């Protein structure tokens, strides 16, 4: 990480304790976001609200996040979301998506969402009405299309902060990930050698 650990205060302490309870250690990305726990908590609340109220499936959300992270070159979030996708599908499916293979074995809706996320990352100004119509043809309604777009934008913002400030994947995250997932993530920051 390129910044020092933030000064300890009640908000930082609460953030770190929640991470220790959930993960067993303080994650590297929280050491970055510890500089603004208020912003992190508000951002997490928005993402949680969106994910809990959308009709997109858990698998579809994992496809969007893993696609966004991998196309951005974010190794940290690629391992995290690739591992989630592997649990919801198979490690081979997750690895295929992370390697940006043309046709990973996904459903029609998932494939359309993967292409939408990739198009947004490549150039959001290049998307067209036809791009949106292809999502509709795959069975997505307009609310789902908006939700998917927000999920990609949120992942892009989160990953950009982590990557720009040097957050590396946690050793615990990497060790828990399927081998196919970690072998497919050949981009991004080097893996962390230690975590608290």
The per-residue pLDDT for 192 is 53
- Mind listing the pLDDT tens digit for each residue in 95-150? 999 998 877 789 999 999 999 999 999 999 999 999 999 999 999 999 999 999 99
Q: What angle do CA 177, 80, 106 make, to 5 degrees?
A: 90
Q: What is the pLDDT of residue 104?
A: 77
Q: What is the pLDDT of residues 45-97, one digit of tens each?
A: 999 999 999 999 999 999 999 999 999 999 999 999 999 999 999 999 999 99
- pLDDT the model gives residue 190: 76
Using the CB atoms, write b or e for 145-169: b if 16+ within 10 Å.
bebbbbbbebbbebbebbbebebbb
Name which of 86, 61, 44 is nearest 152 in CA terms. Answer: 61
Q: Where are the domains of the chain?
A: 56-184
Cβ–Cβ < 8 Å for 181, 156: no
pTM across the whole model: 0.92
pLDDT at residue number 170: 93
Q: Is the pLDDT of residue 193 over 80?
A: no
Q: What is the pLDDT of residues 172-185, one digit of tens each?
A: 999 999 999 999 99
Write the CATH number of the domain with boundaries 56-184: 1.20.1290.10
pLDDT digits (tens, 9 = 90+) for 8-34: 899 999 999 999 999 899 999 999 999
Rounded CA-CA distance 75/82 in Å is: 10
Residues 28, 187: Cα–Cα separation, whole Å: 18
């Amino acid at each position: 990480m390129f910044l020092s650990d933030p000064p300890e205060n009640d908000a930082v302490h609460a953030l770190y304790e929640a991470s220790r309870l959930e993960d067993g250690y303080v994650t590297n990305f929280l050491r970055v976001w510890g500089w603004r726990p208020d912003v992190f908590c508000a951002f997490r609340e928005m993402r949680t609200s969106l994910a809990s109220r959308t009709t997109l499936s858990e698998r579809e959300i994992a496809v969007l996040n893993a696609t966004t992270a991998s196309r951005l070159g974010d190794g940290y979030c690629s391992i995290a979301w690739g591992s989630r996708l592997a649990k919801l599908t198979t490690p081979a499916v997750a690895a295929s998506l992370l390697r940006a293979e043309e046709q990973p074995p996904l459903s029609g809706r998932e494939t359309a969402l993967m292409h939408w996320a990739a198009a947004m990352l490549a150039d959001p100004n290049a998307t067209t009405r036809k791009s949106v119509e292809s999502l509709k043809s795959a069975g997505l309604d307009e609310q789902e299309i908006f939700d998917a777009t927000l999920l990609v934008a949120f992942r892009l913002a989160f990953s950009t902060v982590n990557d720009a400030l040097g957050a590396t994947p946690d050793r615990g995250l990497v060790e828990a990930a399927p081998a196919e997932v970690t072998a497919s993530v050949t981009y991004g920051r080097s893996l962390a050698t230690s975590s608290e």
